[in-house]
Structure 1
Amino acid sequence: MGQKPDILKQAADLTNAGESFALATVVRTVAATAAKAGAKAIIRADGTIMEGWIGGGCARGAVLKAAREALEDGKPRFVSVQPEDLLTGLGVTAGAEKEGIRFARNMCPSKGTMDVFIEPVLPAPGIVILGSSPVAVALADIAPRFGFHVTVCAPEPEQAAFDRADARIDGFMVETAYTRGKFVVVSTQGRGDEAAMSAAVSVSCAYVSFVGSKAKAAALTDKLRCKGVDEIRLAAVKAPAGLDIGAITPDEIALSILSEIVQTRRRALRDAAIQVEPS
Structure 2
Amino acid sequence: MGVHVEVMDLVAEMKAAEQAFVLATVVRTVSVTAAKAGAKAIIRPDGTIVAGWIGGGCARGAVLKAAREALSDGEPRMVSVQPENLLAELGIRPGDSRDGVRFASNMCPSKGTMDIFVEPMLPHPSLVILGASPVALSLAAQARQLGYHVTLAAPASDLVATPDANVVIDGFDPGRLNDSRRFVVVSTQGKGDEAALKQALAINAAYHAFVGSKRKMSALRDKLTAAGLDAAAIDRVKAPAGLDLGAITPEEIAMSILAEITIERRRGQRAANSVARS
TM (normalized to structure 2)? 0.71
> Aligned equivalents of 1:204 and 1:268: distance in 2?
20
> Aligned equivalents of 2:190 and 2:213: distance in 1?
12
Whether the aligned pair in 2 keeps the contact of 1:129 and 1:187 (CA below 8 Å) is: yes
1:144-155, aligned counterparts within 5 Å?
Answer: 144-155=144-155
> Aligned equivalents of 2:108 and 2:192: distance in 1?
68
The reply to whether residue 108 of structure 1 matches residue 110 of structure 2 is no
Residue of structure 1 equivalent to 2:98: 96
The reply to whether residue 51 of structure 1 matches residue 66 of structure 2 is no
1:226/1:103 Cα in 2 relative to 1: closer, same or farther (>3 Å)? closer
Q: Using the TM superposition, name which of 52-61 and 143-152 deviates more.
A: 52-61
1:254/1:237 Cα in 2 relative to 1: closer, same or farther (>3 Å)? same
Considering Cα pairs closer than 8 Å and 6+ residues apart, tell me whether 1 or 2 has the greater RCO.
Answer: 1
Specify the SS of the correspondent of 2:153. strand
Whether the aligned pair in 1 keeps the contact of 2:106 and 2:112 (CA below 8 Å) is: no
- Residue segments in structure 2 that go unaligned for 5+ positions in a row: 1-5, 271-278
1:20/1:259 Cα in 2 relative to 1: closer, same or farther (>3 Å)? farther
Residue 161 of structure 1 aligns with an amino acid whose one-letter code is A
Residue of structure 2 equivalent to 1:207: 207
Whether the aligned pair in 2 keeps the contact of 1:186 and 1:211 (CA below 8 Å) is: yes
TM (normalized to structure 1)? 0.71
Cα drift, residue 137 of structure 1? 2.0
Q: Using the TM superposition, name which of 76-85 and 136-145 deviates more.
A: 76-85
Specify the SS of the correspondent of 1:188. coil
Residue of structure 1 equivalent to 2:73: 72
Cα drift, residue 146 of structure 1? 0.9
Would you identify which runs of 4 or more consecutive aligned residues in structure 1 move more than 6 Å?
6-14, 87-93
> Aligned equivalents of 2:179 and 2:218: distance in 1?
25
Specify the SS of the correspondent of 1:132. coil
Whether the aligned pair in 2 keeps the contact of 1:20 and 1:121 (CA below 8 Å) is: yes
Cα drift, residue 162 of structure 1? 4.2
Cα drift, residue 129 of structure 1? 1.2
Cα drift, residue 234 of structure 1? 2.4
Residue of structure 1 equivalent to 2:240: 240
The reply to whether residue 258 of structure 1 matches residue 258 of structure 2 is yes
The reply to whether residue 168 of structure 1 matches residue 165 of structure 2 is no
1:169/1:269 Cα in 2 relative to 1: closer, same or farther (>3 Å)? farther
Specify the SS of the correspondent of 1:36. coil
Residues matched between the structures, number = 256
Cα drift, residue 225 of structure 1? 1.0
Residue by residue, what CA displacement relative to the aligned partner does 1:95-148 show, whole Å, maximum 9, x if unpaired? 222xxx725253637542011121211112222211222321221120011111
Residue of structure 2 equivalent to 1:178: 177
1:153/1:215 Cα in 2 relative to 1: closer, same or farther (>3 Å)? same
> Aligned equivalents of 1:203 and 1:79: distance in 2?
37
CA RMSD in angstroms comes to 3.9
